[in-house]
């Protein structure tokens, strides 16, 4: 997939450790680290495909996510490690929660070259099952869990987030309600999130990620 142009206005919204780099004539965001899914690599920088990563798409579009280099991160819905491996390239301790065993095996492989990436085969809807592992006061809670009750997942995991931290969530409308109007579905999820957070930004992720909404919020 061809990358979308990076947002104008400089790269001040990018965390330290994420840079625009040129790959085969196209400018792409990139991080330094071992490649995990065959992405282009140049001088130690691995391209970040916005079509495979909703966080990559957000950063490429200039969304201010609150991520900073060296942050402690709790990542919910890590899947096979495509995005969380990039996060671990620039962040500090990164706890990656994934419930499905098959992608979790790939996640473990992605973590082998990243000593700061900690895979957890757990259910993000049940934070009590990993509360003994994840430190409190994380800087960023990133949520990419494609399940019904996405707002509730964000609220249940609020306990791990520092009071001055950031929630960055990607809401998949069809996982929440298969038949309902997309905007109505987004509204219901955001309303739930607002019970624990103050929403700073919302942005649709089309066309790279159809029927997805990016939500950036701060704890109340």
Tell me the HSE value of 97 on the side-chain side, using a 13 A CA sphere.
Answer: 25
Establish whether 89 is an annotated binding residue: no
147 is in an annotated binding site: yes
Q: Residue 182: enclosing H or E segment and its boundaries?
A: helix 182-193
- Whether 98 has a binding-site annotation, put simply, is yes
Any binding-site annotation on 83? yes
Check whether 23 has a pLDDT greater than 60: yes
Q: Is 23 annotated as a binding residue?
A: no
**What is the model's pLDDT at position 13?**
85
Q: How far is CA 72 from CA 116, 139, 161, 208, in A?
A: 10, 5, 10, 27
Q: Is 16 marked as binding a ligand?
A: no
Residue 99 assigned as binding residue: yes
145 annotated binding-site participant: yes
Residue pair 86/107 in contact by the 8 Å Cβ criterion? no
Could you report the per-residue pLDDT of 122-173, keeping only the tens digit for each?
Answer: 999 999 999 999 999 999 999 999 899 999 999 999 999 999 999 999 999 9
pLDDT at 191 over 60: yes
Q: Is 82 marked within a binding site? A: yes
For the chain, domains (ranges, CATH) are: 73-219 (3.40.50.150)
Residue 96 has pLDDT above 80, yes or no: yes
The pTM score is 0.93
């Amino acid at each position: 997939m061809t990358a979308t142009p990076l947002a104008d206005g400089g790269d001040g919204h990018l965390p330290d450790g994420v840079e625009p780099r040129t790959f085969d004539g196209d400018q792409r965001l990139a991080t330094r680290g071992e490649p995990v899914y065959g992405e282009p690599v140049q001088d130690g920088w691995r391209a970040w495909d916005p079509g495979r990563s909703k966080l990559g798409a957000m950063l490429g579009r200039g969304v201010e996510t609150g991520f900073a280099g060296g942050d402690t991160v709790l990542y919910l819905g890590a899947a096979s490690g495509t995005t969380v491996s990039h996060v671990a390239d620039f962040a500090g301790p990164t706890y990656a929660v994934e419930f499905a065993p098959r992608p979790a095996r790939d996640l473990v492989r992605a973590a082998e070259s990243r000593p700061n990436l900690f895979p957890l085969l757990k259910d993000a809807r049940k934070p009590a099952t990993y509360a003994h592992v994840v430190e409190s006061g994380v800087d960023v809670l990133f949520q990419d869990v494609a399940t019904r009750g996405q707002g509730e997942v964000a609220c249940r995991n609020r306990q791990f987030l520092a009071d001055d931290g950031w929630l960055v969530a990607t809401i998949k409308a069809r996982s929440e309600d298969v038949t309902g109007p997309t905007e109505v579905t987004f509204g219901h999820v955001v309303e739930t999130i607002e019970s624990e957070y103050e929403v700073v930004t919302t942005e649709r992720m089309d066309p790279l990620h159809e029927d997805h909404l990016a939500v950036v919020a701060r704890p109340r």
